[in-house]
Amino acid sequence: MKTELLAPRPDAIEKAAGILRAGGLVAIPTETVYGLAANALDGAAVRAIFAAKGRPQDNPLISHIASMDMLGMVTGSVPPQAQRLAEAFWPGPLTMVLPRGAAVAREVCAGLETAAVRMPSHPVAQAVIRAAGVPLAAPSANLSGSPSPTTAADVLADMEGKIPLILDGGACSVGVESTVISLAGAQPVLLRPGYITKEQLEDAMGCAVALSDAVLHKLKDGESAASPGMKYKHYAPKADVTILKGSFDAYKEYMKSHCADGVYALCFTGEEPALPCPCVTYGRADKPDEQAHALFSALRELDARGAKTVFARCPAQEGVAMAVYNRLLRAAAFRVVEV
Ligand code: AMP
Ligand code: MG
């Protein structure tokens, strides 16, 4: 199959909508990362997403809607707390897990009685959903396990020959996947941190949000994840990544004694001149928004440069930085060394 890469002009949006209505796949830009979209009401179309990504069958997908009218196609009852969050953060990078609706394909929910839904703010994503007229199931448009794509070129690198069309909307502004909150249980639970922070969610709802164990800790063998995606080694470049937790001075000393062929520093912007080995940066130390925006392209750049061993500076763990730390932990398969 030939993969076309098109600017998101009106005729390309129409073409994308036609492919989606006919049960095909299209990669689209969103404000978080690029998504690999299919009609969320069509089980066969959704199965094609799992095949193209090599995604485990038990990892459910997020359905994307363009208006509140579409919500009922994905979910069942909508509790008042979900209404409040929708008013505060939609359209935007927040996904809510709610009781599932009857119309959404079984494959989207991977056998769960809940469905995840989000209304993206990216104008191209919105235009494609509206033109297709159905909710779109859309996980990140990368091969399962590799870093999420934040440019059309990243998508092409993973999906060339597997899908007919990629819409090129430039670089994604946020750069990490949406925040996922479950409102399906007795208490709201943050399943995946993102650009919308736990504190913002608590303010909007006026109640506490619990943090799922899987966000910052590795699940033990046999333990089940509230959010299945969190149990996989994920976002990983080919190199072995280790996070070094501690001051910059301690990091520098560690790098001096570990510098060798194929060893790279994944450091904060501006730190390169003080380091003895090749560096890839991912934003300034005190700017978590920059880190989120840059992390996945930095991981892909390490692969492109042939890095074998990577020592990463450790991000903070609150606010937006929690999302960065959560992704980096999985890229490092939870290897963290205190220096
Ligand atoms: P992705 O589409 O790759 O951004 O991943 C979506 C993630 O959202 C999954 O890996 C799950 O962790 C989470 N998710 C989606 N649907 C559900 C659901 N029904 N219940 C719990 N978590 C979900
Ligand atoms: Mg993904």
* pLDDT at residue 277, as a whole number: 96
Using alpha carbons only, what angle is made at residue 26 by residues 20 and 28, rounded to the nearest 5 degrees?
120
For the segment 276-288, the average pLDDT, to the nearest whole number, is 98
Give 185's contacts (C-beta < 8 A, 6+ positions apart): none
Which atom of ligand 1 approaches the CA of 109 most closely?
19
pLDDT at 220: 77
Please tell me the distance between residue 237's alpha carbon and the centre of ligand 2 in angstroms: 14
Q: Whose CA is nearest to atom 9 of ligand 1?
A: 229
Q: Tell me how far apart the alpha carbons of residues 4 and 128 are, in angstroms, rounded to a whole number.
A: 16
Looking at residue 94, its amino acid is L
Q: Does the Cβ of 109 fall within 6 Å of ligand 1?
A: yes
Helices 152-159 and 288-304: crossing angle in degrees, nearest 10, is 40
Token pair for 8: 């998101």
Enter the tokens of residue 176. Answer: 């990490």
Residue 77 banded pLDDT, cuts 50, 70, 90: confident
Helix (H) or strand (E) holding 192: strand 189-192
pLDDT of residue 232: 66
Note the pLDDT of residue 323.
98
Q: For 203-257, what is each residue's pLDDT tens digit?
A: 999 999 999 999 998 887 777 777 777 766 678 889 999 999 999 999 999 999 9
The overall average pLDDT reported for the chain is 96
Ligand 1 mutation target, pool 55, 59, 215, 327, most atoms within 8 A of CB: 59
Q: Which ligand is nearest to the CA of 149?
A: 2
Q: Regarding predicted confidence, which is higher, 146 or 235? A: 146
Q: Is the pLDDT of residue 101 over 90?
A: yes
Q: Specify the higher pLDDT residue, 57 or 282.
A: 282
For ligand 1, the distance from its centroid to the CA atom of residue 75, given in whole angstroms, is: 14
Q: Quick one: pLDDT at residue 262? A: 97
